[in-house]
Amino acid sequence: MTSDQTRAASYYAASANPAPEHPPLRGDITADVCVVGGGLAGCSTALDLAERGYKVVLLEGQHVGWGASGRSGGQAITGFASGQHKLVNQVGAENARRMWDISLEGVRLIRDRVAKHNIDCDLHWGQMHVAIKPRQRDTLLEEQREAEQTYGYRDLRFLEREQVQALLETERYSAGLYDAGSGHLHPLNYTLGVAAAARAAGVSIYERSQVTNISYDQPAVISTAGGKVRAKFVVLCCNAYLNSLVPSLRSRIMPVGTYIVATESLGEARMQRLMRENIAVTDINFVLDYFRRSADHRLLFGGRVSYSGLDAFNTATATRKRMLKVFPQLSDVQVEYAWGGYVDITMSRAPDFGRLAPHIYYLQGFSGHGIALTGVAGRLAAEAIAGQAERFDLFTRLKHRNFPGGELLRMPALVLAMLWYRARDLL
């Protein structure tokens, strides 16, 4: 799918705030830091570095926000996709607690940046995980207990079936865990807002400047078709769109396709009946569904991940069917936008931050929690470059395995695993 096609199909692109076009890189330039990737991780890293006084160049192969940062479900969620127990097993309880606190900082950072830079991105607070089966109700109760007793997090409220139905006009869910500290936003407008703040802080942004090679010399040389950047430091923020730039990193993540539809506008009254509060909702199946309201009273509904790299289903039709399982009363409603894209996951679903060399950093593997984690990850990278590496190095202690099967077999192997998980969701 080309960038123009993606922009045309996405509701986010159709409702995006005006943003400038940045030129492609032409010629050779120098910088203190070169950031590769114009999504939230890259823009956040560049902004933090510029605010510290560094001369920063950001290179984006397409357009700012073109990847997952501009197409996602838009939910800013506390914690990590891996869950805390995997972190505890690897780095111990105390360090896992520090990581949890960093995830909360990521959510607060969104609030602070929206206010400081006056970013118009339809930010609302409130997110709820919902259970479909009785065993999932127990899972939600355990998550609440762990968050409150182990991590002192008090923003969670457990809801029984009747309380969920008081918020949502559906009978599908048996329980819910309401998180007042998480929220949702228009992801493309937020990304464009962070990019604008970075540009105002002095960052030079170049679009349509695909990086073709990185030398590990000092300074590093970052090459594109149109020019080169010589920089003391490099931060790679390519995630699912890393392609073949660094094969050793690519083998540690899997690009996962996910799809979203936007209905026609339901009108304020009908949307208010459907969802009494302007919150984001996600079920806890392994192959999950998620939905929320838009500013113009549409239902945005997504899910059905694809690990095969192919859209094996007609996106709009299949996603609409899943939407009607939750809200059958929307059978008369048309889908006006349907789009997809890739997020990157790691084997453990924990984020993967590290160094390829003392001056070459990377951020990847946000595993569906990127709206909040990318911002604070950029801050950690900026701290490390400035000589305060303790928090960044905490994450480098996490061990990550390559996906099995190599380039030829890892997709088929994961497809088989996903069939098993989908079957488990039905139990």
List pLDDT tens digits, range 167-200. Answer: 999 999 999 999 999 999 999 999 999 999 999 9
Of 427, 152, 338, 232, nearest to 222 by C-alpha is 232
% of the chain beyond a pLDDT of 70 = 90
Of 160, 161, 158, 159, nearest to 172 by C-alpha is 161
Confidence band, pLDDT 50/70/90 cuts, at residue 421: very low
For 40-79, letters b (16+ CB in 10 Å) and e give bbbbbbbbbbbbeebbbbbbbbbbbbbbbbbbbbbbbbbb
Hey, what are 360's tokens?
């070459």
Cα→Cα distances 213→59, 62, 231, 355, Å: 12, 16, 14, 17
Q: Evaluate whether residue 401 is within a structural domain.
A: yes
- pLDDT digit string (tens) for 13-35? 999 999 999 999 999 999 999 99
The CATH number given to whatever domain includes residue 27 is 3.50.50.60
Of 141, 148, 158, 151, nearest to 87 by C-alpha is 151
Confidence band, pLDDT 50/70/90 cuts, at residue 304: low
Q: Evaluate whether residue 383 is within a structural domain.
A: yes
Q: Give the residue, 322 or 424, on which the prediction is more confident.
A: 322
- pLDDT digit string (tens) for 323-377? 999 999 999 999 999 998 888 889 999 999 999 999 999 999 999 899 999 999 9
Q: Evaluate whether residue 39 is within a structural domain.
A: yes
Q: Evaluate whether residue 139 is within a structural domain.
A: no
Q: What is the rounded distance in angstroms from the CA atom of residue 368 to the CA atom of residue 307?
A: 14
Q: What is the rounded distance in angstroms from the CA atom of residue 51 to the CA atom of residue 54?
A: 7
Confidence band, pLDDT 50/70/90 cuts, at residue 408: low
Give the contacts of 134 (CB within 8 A, at least 6 positions apart): 174
Torsion of CA 159, 161, 166, 171, to 10 degrees: 140
Q: Answer for the pair 380, 393: CB distance below 8 angstroms, yes or no.
A: no
Strand blocks (E) in 5-111 = 27-36, 56-59, 75-76
Domains of the chain: total? 1
Q: Which of 56-65, 84-93, 331-340, 412-421 has the lowest mean pLDDT?
A: 412-421
Half-sphere exposure (Cβ direction) of 280: Cα atoms closer than 13 Å: 25
Q: What is the rounded distance in angstroms from the CA atom of residue 380 to the CA atom of residue 393?
A: 9
Q: What angle do CA 321, 326, 327 make, to 5 degrees?
A: 85
Q: Give the residue, 288 or 141, on which the prediction is more confident.
A: 141
Q: What angle do CA 18, 222, 13 make, to 5 degrees?
A: 20
Q: What is the pLDDT, as a whole number, of residue 416?
A: 46
Q: What is the rounded distance in angstroms from the CA atom of residue 268 to the CA atom of residue 266?
A: 7
Task: Please check the confidence at residue 310 and state whether its pLDDT lies above 50.
Answer: no
Helix boundaries (H) for 201-267: 247-250
Q: Helix (H, G, I), strand (E, B), or coil: what is residue 14?
A: helix
Q: What is the rounded distance in angstroms from the CA atom of residue 396 to the CA atom of residue 238?
A: 18
Q: What is the pLDDT, as a whole number, of residue 317?
A: 85
How confident is the model over 391-399, as a mean pLDDT? 97
Q: What is the pLDDT, as a whole number, of residue 2?
A: 36
Q: Which domain holds residue 354?
A: 3-72+188-252+348-405
Q: What is the pLDDT, as a whole number, of residue 311?
A: 54
Hey, what are 156's tokens?
């969670």
Of 143, 110, 105, 102, nearest to 40 by C-alpha is 110
Q: Evaluate whether residue 90 is within a structural domain.
A: no
Q: Evaluate whether residue 240 is within a structural domain.
A: yes
List the beta bridge partners of residue 256: 343
Mean pLDDT of the residues in the chain: 91
Q: What is the pLDDT, as a whole number, of residue 176?
A: 98
Q: What is the rounded distance in angstroms from the CA atom of residue 45 to the CA atom of residue 198?
A: 9
Q: How many CB atoms lie within 10 A of CB 420?
A: 10
At which residue do the structure tokens 């949702």 appear?
184
Q: How many CB atoms lie within 10 A of CB 213?
A: 10
Q: Answer for the pair 283, 291: CB distance below 8 angstroms, yes or no.
A: no
Q: What is the pLDDT, as a whole number, of residue 343?
A: 84
Q: What is the pLDDT, as a whole number, of residue 248?
A: 87
Q: What is the pLDDT, as a whole number, of residue 215?
A: 96
> What length is written for the chain?
427
Task: Please check the confidence at residue 8 and state whether its pLDDT lies above 50.
Answer: no
Confidence band, pLDDT 50/70/90 cuts, at residue 305: low
Q: What is the pLDDT, as a whole number, of residue 6?
A: 42
Q: Evaluate whether residue 161 is within a structural domain.
A: no
- pLDDT digit string (tens) for 235-259? 999 988 888 899 889 889 888 888 9
The rounded Cα 129 to chain-centroid distance in angstroms is 17
Q: Helix (H, G, I), strand (E, B), or coil: what is residue 156?
A: strand
Q: What is the rounded distance in angstroms from the CA atom of residue 84 to the CA atom of residue 73?
A: 22
Q: What is the pLDDT, as a whole number, of residue 410?
A: 52
Q: What is the pLDDT, as a whole number, of residue 407?
A: 57
Q: Which of 218-222, 234-238, 301-305, 383-387 has the lowest mean pLDDT?
A: 301-305
Q: Answer for the pair 69, 37: CB distance below 8 angstroms, yes or no.
A: no
- pLDDT digit string (tens) for 263-298? 999 999 999 999 999 999 999 987 889 999 999 999
End-to-end Cα spacing for the chain? 36
Helix (H) or strand (E) holding 339: strand 335-345
Confidence band, pLDDT 50/70/90 cuts, at residue 206: very high
Q: Which of 294-303, 311-320, 337-346 has the lowest mean pLDDT?
A: 311-320
Q: What's the one-letter identity of residue 400? A: H
Confidence band, pLDDT 50/70/90 cuts, at residue 227: very high
Q: Evaluate whether residue 206 is within a structural domain.
A: yes
